[in-house]
Amino acid sequence: MSTAPPVRATQEPRIADEHGRRIRVGELVLRYALLLLVLAITVGPFLWQLSTSLKGPTEDVFSSPPSFLPEHPTLHNYRRVADTIPVWDYALNSLKVAGASVVTNCVGSALAGYALARLRYRGRRVATLVFILAMLVPVEGIIIAQFTTMRELGLNNTLIGVVLPGSIGAMNVLLMRNAFLNVPYEIEEAAYVDGANAWQRFLRIALPSVRGTLAVVAIFAFMGAWDDFLWPLIVLSDPSRFTLTIGLNYLHGTFANDERLVAAGTVIAVAPLIALFACLQRYFFRGVGEGAVKG
Amino acid sequence: MAGVSRVRRQLPTSPWLFAAPGLLVVGAFVLYPFVSTIVDSFTDRRTLIPGHFVGLANFRELVHDDMFWTGLRNSTLYIAGVVPALVVLPLLLALLVQKNIPGITFFRSAFYTPVVASIVVVGLIWVWLLDERGLVNSLLETVGIGRVGFLSDQWLLLLSAMAVTVWKGLGYYMIIYLAALAGVPRELHEAAAVDGAGTVRRFLTVTVPAVRSTMILVAALSSVAAFKTFSEVYLLAGPDGGPAGEDTTLVMLVQQTGTGLTGRVGYASALSVVVFVVTVALMLLVLRADRRERP
C-alpha cells in the first residue's frame, strides 16, 4: 500500500513521466518551481527554528527584514535549555515511554493478532469485535475516565501510567491480524503435520513472515508515544517526571519570551524523529497506507 | 479460511493466552473508560468525591452553558475550515509529486516531515513564526503590508490554528492520495487528452471521479480529527483558549473541566458524550455520502 518505489527514470537520457513519455521543459520548470515553493512552506519553518536556536544572545532575532542565517552560530542556547529545565531527563523519560510502547505493542499485538487470525476457539469473533469497537472509540472522549482509572490503580503521575492506555493499540492488533491472514497457510500446515504446537508455529513460522508489518507497528508506536501530548499532559503533574513534549509546553509557558531557548528545546525534541524518519521512510509511508485503509 | 479448521493441535487455553494481554489492555483502558464515561455523565462525580446519580442534570446544565456552545461552535468551525483544505490541497500535492522526475523522492519525504514532528513542536514553531515580532510578520512588514496580530485576535487565532492543522496534515493525506492515484488507468487520461481536454478539465473529469472514494475517506478521517482538535488551539491560544476563552474547543473544555483535584468528572463526561455522538454522526454522514455517490 505504500508509494511505488520510484521507477528509475533518472537513468534514461531524457526526462520522462511514469508512462515513459517525455515531459516538456516548460512543464518541468513549472513543476520544480512549485516543488521548491512547497518545500519552503513545509520544511522552511523547521529550518527557521534551527536557525533561531543557533543565534547568539547579542544577535537580533526579530530583525526586519529577517536574517535567515545566524551570524555567529553557537550552541549556547542548548546549554541554557539544560540549565533551565532538566531537558535530558525529559528526553530520557520520553525514550523510556516510547521504548516501552514499542515493546508492548509489538509483543501484544503480534500475539493477539495471531490468535485472531490463526487459532481456532470459541469466542474468536467476539474477541475480534472487541478490538474493532476499541479502535472506533475516540481517545479524546475517554481521557477523563482513563485518568480516574489510573488514579484508582495508583498509577497517575507515573511513566507506567503514560504508557499503559496505548500499550497495545487495537488498530495494531487488527493490522497484525490482517498480516497473518495474508501469509500463505500451507507452510504452517506443514509444521502442524510435523507436530509443532501453536507457540512454535507462531514464533518460528508466522512471525518471521510478518516482519514488515511488525516494523510498521514498532515505528508508529514509537512516534505515537514520543509525540503524544494530551494524555501525558493529563496524567503527569510532577515536573520531575515530565516527558519531552510536556516539558516543552512547560518551557514555553514559563519562558515564552525567550525564543532562542524554546527553539533549542523544540530542535532537541524533533531531531530524533526526523533522523528516524530519514532512515526508515519506507515503513512510515507503508504505515500510512495500511492505517488509513483500516482506520 | 478453509484450512483453519484442520489445525487443532493446541492447548485449549492457548488462544486465550495469546489474546489475553491485548484484551486486557483494550478492555481496561479503552472499553471500560468508555462505559464509565457514559455512566459518569449521569452523576455529579468529582475527582476526589464519588458521585450520585443525578439523571440528566449535567445535560440540562450543558444546554445553558455558554462555554459549551463556544466549544461546540469552534470545533464545528474547525471542521468547516480544515476539511475542504485537507481534501483538496493534498490531492494537488500528490499530483505534483506523482511524476518520477529527478529528486522527487526527496521532495516526497520532505513534504512528509511535518507529519513526523510532535504537535507540540509544530505548535511552538508556529507560535514563534506568527508572533507579533516573528518571521511572518517581519516578512509582511518588509513587503509593506504591516504586522498582523495572528495570535491576539480571537478569529485570527482560530484561523491560524486551522492553518497549522492543515500544514501538519498535508503530507499524510498526500501519501494516501498517491496510493489512490497509482490506480488511475493511464488510458483515461490519454482518451481525455485526445478529446482536447486541458489540464484542469482532465483533473475534474478524470482524476477527481477516479479518486472520489479516497476523497471521501480523507473527508471522514479529517473531519473526525478536526472535531476533536485540542493541541493546536491549546498551544497557539494558550491553556485558557485565547481572549476570554473564546477559542476553546470542545476537547479543551473536557480537559479543563475534568482534570485537577477539583475536576468535575460527571460534567466533563457529559461533554465527552457529546464528543462521541458528534463523532459517530460524522462517520455515518460520510458513509452515507459514500454510498450515495457510488453508482
pLDDT in tens, B125-152: 999 999 988 899 989 988 888 888 899 9
DSSP state of A280: -
Residues sharing a CB contact under 8 Å with residue A50, sequence separation 6 or more, in sequence order: A263, A267
Give the residue-averaged pLDDT of A36-46. 95
- Identify whether residues A257 and A139 lie together within a single domain: yes
Q: Does B284 touch chain A (CB under 8 A)?
A: no
B4–chain A nearest CA distance, Å: 7
Q: Do you know the residue count of chain A? A: 295
- Identify whether residues A27 and A152 lie together within a single domain: no
Interface of A with B in 171-210 (CB under 8 A): 173, 185, 188-189, 192, 195, 197-199, 202
Determine which of A2, A121, A140, A207 to mutate to test the interface with B (most B C-beta atoms within 10 Å). A140
Q: Tell which phi-psi region holds residue A50, choosing left (phi > 0), alpha (psi between -120 and 50) or beta.
A: alpha
Confidence of residue A8 (pLDDT cuts 50, 70, 90): very low
Check residue B11 and give its pLDDT. Answer: 57
In chain B, what residues touch A269 (CB-CB under 8 Å)?
Answer: 118, 120-121
Check residue B51 and give its pLDDT. Answer: 85
Domains of chain B, each with CATH number or no CATH: 12-40 (no CATH), 65-293 (1.10.3720.10)
Surface-to-core class of residue B18, CB atoms within 10 Å of its CB (0-12 exposed, 13-18 middle, 19+ buried): buried
Cβ of A49 within 8 Å of Cβ of B128? The answer is yes
Check residue A65 and give its pLDDT. Answer: 76
- pTM of the shown model: 0.88
Task: State how far the alpha carbon of B216 is from the alpha carbons of B73, B121, B211, B284, B292, in Å.
Answer: 23, 30, 9, 12, 11
- Identify whether residues A69 and A117 lie together within a single domain: no
Confidence of residue A292 (pLDDT cuts 50, 70, 90): low
* SS3 state at B122: helix
Q: Does B213 touch chain A (CB under 8 A)?
A: no
Q: Does A292 touch chain B (CB under 8 A)?
A: yes
Domain holding A44, by residue range, is 9-74
- Identify whether residues A125 and A187 lie together within a single domain: yes
Amino acid at B226: A
In chain B, what residues touch A185 (CB-CB under 8 Å)?
Answer: 3-4
Confidence of residue B234 (pLDDT cuts 50, 70, 90): very high
Check residue A289 and give its pLDDT. Answer: 67
B84–chain A nearest CA distance, Å: 18
- Cell match 486541458: residue? B198
Q: Is the confidence at residue A191, as pLDDT, over 90? A: no
Residues sharing a CB contact under 8 Å with residue A195, sequence separation 6 or more, in sequence order: B9
Residue A2, in any domain of the structure? no
Residue A212, in any domain of the structure? yes
A176-187: burial string, b at 16+ Cβ within 10 Å, e else: bbbbbeebebee
Do A48 and B126 touch, CB atoms closer than 8 A? Answer: no
Interface of B with A in 53-92 (CB under 8 A): none
Residue A3, in any domain of the structure? no
Interface of A with B in 259-278 (CB under 8 A): 259, 262-263, 265-266, 269-270, 273-274, 276-278
Q: Does B14 touch chain A (CB under 8 A)?
A: yes
CATH code for the domain in which residue A252 is found: 1.10.3720.10
Do A15 and A22 touch, CB atoms closer than 8 A? Answer: yes
- Cell match 497509482: residue? B182
Nearest alpha carbon to residue B221 among B283, B145, B130: B283
- Identify whether residues A227 and A161 lie together within a single domain: yes
Q: Is the confidence at residue B100, as pLDDT, over 90? A: no
DSSP state of A3: P
The structural domain count of chain A equals 2
Ordered alpha helix ranges (H), chain A: 25-53, 76-84, 87-117, 124-136, 139-152, 159-163, 170-181, 185-193, 198-200, 207-209, 211-227, 230-235, 244-254, 259-279, 281-294
Q: Examine the fold and report which residue of A74, A105, A127 is the final residue of a domain before the chain moves on.
A: A74
Give the residue-averaged pLDDT of B160-164. 96
Cβ of B31 within 8 Å of Cβ of A285? The answer is no
Q: Tell which phi-psi region holds residue A167, choosing left (phi > 0), alpha (psi between -120 and 50) or beta.
A: alpha
Interface of B with A in 134-153 (CB under 8 A): 134-135, 137-139, 141-142
Confidence of residue B123 (pLDDT cuts 50, 70, 90): very high
Q: Is the confidence at residue A115, as pLDDT, over 90? A: yes
* Apex B150 CA angle, B146 and B156, nearest 5: 120
Check residue B99 and give its pLDDT. Answer: 85
Q: Is the confidence at residue B10, as pLDDT, over 70? A: no
Confidence of residue B5 (pLDDT cuts 50, 70, 90): very low
Q: How far apart are CA A152 and CA A140, in angstroms?
A: 20
Q: Examine the fold and report which residue of A27, A48, A74 is the final residue of a domain before the chain moves on.
A: A74
Cβ of A112 within 8 Å of Cβ of B21? The answer is yes
Check residue A256 and give its pLDDT. Answer: 66
Determine which of A142, A148, A173, A203 to mutate to test the interface with B (most B C-beta atoms within 10 Å). A142
Cβ of B235 within 8 Å of Cβ of A9? The answer is no
Residue A1, in any domain of the structure? no
Q: Considering CB atoms only, which of A23, A244, A248 is closest to B99?
A: A23
Amino acid at B4: V
Residue B210: φ, ψ to 5°:
-70, -30
- Identify whether residues A21 and A124 lie together within a single domain: no
In chain B, what residues touch A35 (CB-CB under 8 Å)?
Answer: 96-97, 104, 107
Q: How far apart are CA B7 and CA A117, in angstroms?
A: 12
Which three three-digit cell numbers place residue A7? 521507477
- Identify whether residues A90 and A68 lie together within a single domain: no
Q: How far apart are CA B162 and CA B45, in angstroms?
A: 34
Nearest alpha carbon to residue B118 among A193, A199, A248: A248
* SS3 state at A22: strand
Strand partners of residue B43? B53
- Identify whether residues A162 and A267 lie together within a single domain: yes
- Identify whether residues A185 and A242 lie together within a single domain: yes
Amino acid at A265: G
Q: Does A52 touch chain B (CB under 8 A)?
A: yes
CA A253 to chain centre: 25
Check residue B7 and give its pLDDT. Answer: 46
Q: Does A7 touch chain B (CB under 8 A)?
A: yes
Check residue A196 and give its pLDDT. Answer: 81
- Identify whether residues A99 and A27 lie together within a single domain: no
Confidence of residue A7 (pLDDT cuts 50, 70, 90): very low
Q: Does A124 touch chain B (CB under 8 A)?
A: yes
Nearest alpha carbon to residue A268 among A44, A93, A51, A78: A78
pLDDT in tens, B25-73: 999 999 999 999 999 999 999 988 888 899 899 999 999 999 999 999 9
Residue B178: φ, ψ to 5°:
-60, -45
Give me chain A's average pLDDT, please.
Answer: 86
Q: How far apart are CA B193 and CA A19, in angstroms?
A: 15
DSSP state of A5: P
Name the CA radius of gyration of chain B, rounded. 24
Q: Considering CB atoms only, which of A6, A189, A273 is closest to B100?
A: A6
Task: State how far the alpha carbon of A219 is from the alpha carbons of A127, A282, B10, B116, in Å.
Answer: 25, 11, 32, 11
Check residue A2 and give its pLDDT. Answer: 45
Q: Does A223 touch chain B (CB under 8 A)?
A: yes
Q: Which of A10-24, A79-93, A251-265, B176-190 has the lowest mean pLDDT?
A: A10-24
Residues sharing a CB contact under 8 Å with residue A60, sequence separation 6 or more, in sequence order: A67
- Identify whether residues A228 and A280 lie together within a single domain: yes
Residue A25, in any domain of the structure? yes
Cβ of A165 within 8 Å of Cβ of B118? The answer is no
Q: Considering CB atoms only, which of A66, A120, A131 is closest to B7?
A: A120
Cβ of A259 within 8 Å of Cβ of B99? The answer is no
- Identify whether residues A28 and A122 lie together within a single domain: no
Q: Examine the fold and report which residue of A38, A56, A74 is the final residue of a domain before the chain moves on.
A: A74
The three state secondary structure string of B10-65 is CCCCHHHHHHHHHHHHHHHHHHHHHHHHHHHCCECCCCCCCCCECCCHHHHHHHCC
pLDDT in tens, B248-276: 999 999 999 998 888 899 999 999 999 99
* Half-sphere exposure at residue B270, Cβ-oriented, CA atoms within 13 angstroms: 23
Residue A234, in any domain of the structure? yes
Residue A220, in any domain of the structure? yes
Q: Which of A121-125, B86-90, B119-123 has the lowest mean pLDDT?
A: A121-125
Determine which of B29, B58, B147 to mutate to test the interface with A (most A C-beta atoms within 10 Å). B29
Residue A4, in any domain of the structure? no
